Amino acid sequence: MAVRRVVTAVPRATRAYASLAEDPSIPAPEFSAPAWESVQTTKLSNGVTVVSEDALSPVSSVSVVVGAGSSRETVGGTSALMRAMAFKASKSTTEFRRIRECELKGISLSGAGDRETLSYTATFLRDDTSYAVGMLGDAAVDQAFNSWDVKDTKAFLASVGEEVSSTDYVIDAVHAGAFRSGGHGNSLYVDNFRLPALTSETLSEFASKTFTADAITVVGTDVGHAELVALADEAFGGLATVDAAAPAAKYVGGFETRIPAALGSTKYALGFEGAGRGSSDVATAAVLEKVLFGNGLASIPYGAGNGTNKVTQAVVSAAGSADIESFNFNYNGTGLIGAVVSFGAGSAASTVAGFTSAVKAVLSGGITDGDIARAKAQASAAALEMTSAERAAFYASAATAVSPEAFAASIDAVTADQVKAFAAKVGGSKAVAVAAGDVDAVPYADQL
How sure is the predictor about 8, in pLDDT bands with cuts at 50, 70 and 90?
Answer: very low
Residues 6 or more apart whose CB falls under 8 angstroms from that of 94 comprise: none
**Do 121 and 112 touch, CB atoms closer than 8 A?**
yes
Average pLDDT, the chain: 87
Q: What is the pLDDT of residue 305?
A: 55
Q: What is the pLDDT of residue 24?
A: 52
Q: Read off the pLDDT of residues 54-73 as tens digits, 9 standing for 90 and up.
A: 888 899 999 999 999 999 99
**pTM of this prediction?**
0.87
Residue 374 has pLDDT above 80, yes or no: yes
Q: What is the pLDDT of residue 259?
A: 95
Alpha helices of 364-432 — where are they, by DSSP H?
A: 369-384, 388-397, 404-412, 416-427
Mean pLDDT within 125-142:
96
Tell how many helices (H) and how many strands (E) occur in the chain.
Answer: 16, 11
Q: What gap in Å lies between CA 190 and CA 181, rounded to an integer?
A: 15
Residue 389 has pLDDT above 80, yes or no: no
Mean pLDDT within 76-91:
95
Q: What gap in Å lies between CA 286 and CA 200, rounded to an integer?
A: 40
Mean pLDDT within 259-272:
93
Render 259-321 in DSSP notation, one character per residue.
Answer: EE---SSEEEEEEEEE--TTSTTHHHHHHHHHHHHTT-STT--SSGGGSS-HHHHHHHHHHSS
Q: What is the pLDDT of residue 161?
A: 78
Q: How crowded is residue 127: how many other Cβ atoms within 10 Å of its Cβ?
A: 10
DSSP assigned state of 44: -
Tell me which of 6 and 204 has the higher pLDDT. Answer: 204
**Do 137 and 62 touch, CB atoms closer than 8 A?**
no
Render 85-145 in DSSP notation, one character per residue.
Answer: TTT--BSS--HHHHHHHHHHHT-EEEEEE-SS-EEEEEEEEGGGHHHHHHHHHHHHHSB--
Mean pLDDT within 356-362:
95
How sure is the predictor about 328, in pLDDT bands with cuts at 50, 70 and 90?
Answer: very high
C-alpha dist (Å) from residue 142 to 79, 86, 96, 207, 236:
16, 11, 16, 10, 10
Q: Read off the pLDDT of residues 44-53 as tens digits, 9 standing for 90 and up.
A: 999 999 999 8
Q: Read off the pLDDT of residues 394-404 as tens digits, 9 standing for 90 and up.
A: 877 766 677 88
Residue 365 has pLDDT above 60, yes or no: yes
Mean pLDDT within 133-141:
95
Residues 6 or more apart whose CB falls under 8 angstroms from that of 53 comprise: 2, 36, 37, 38, 39, 40, 220, 221, 222, 391, 403
- Please report, rounded to a whole number, the percentage of residues in the chain having pLDDT higher than 70: 88
Mean pLDDT within 85-108:
96
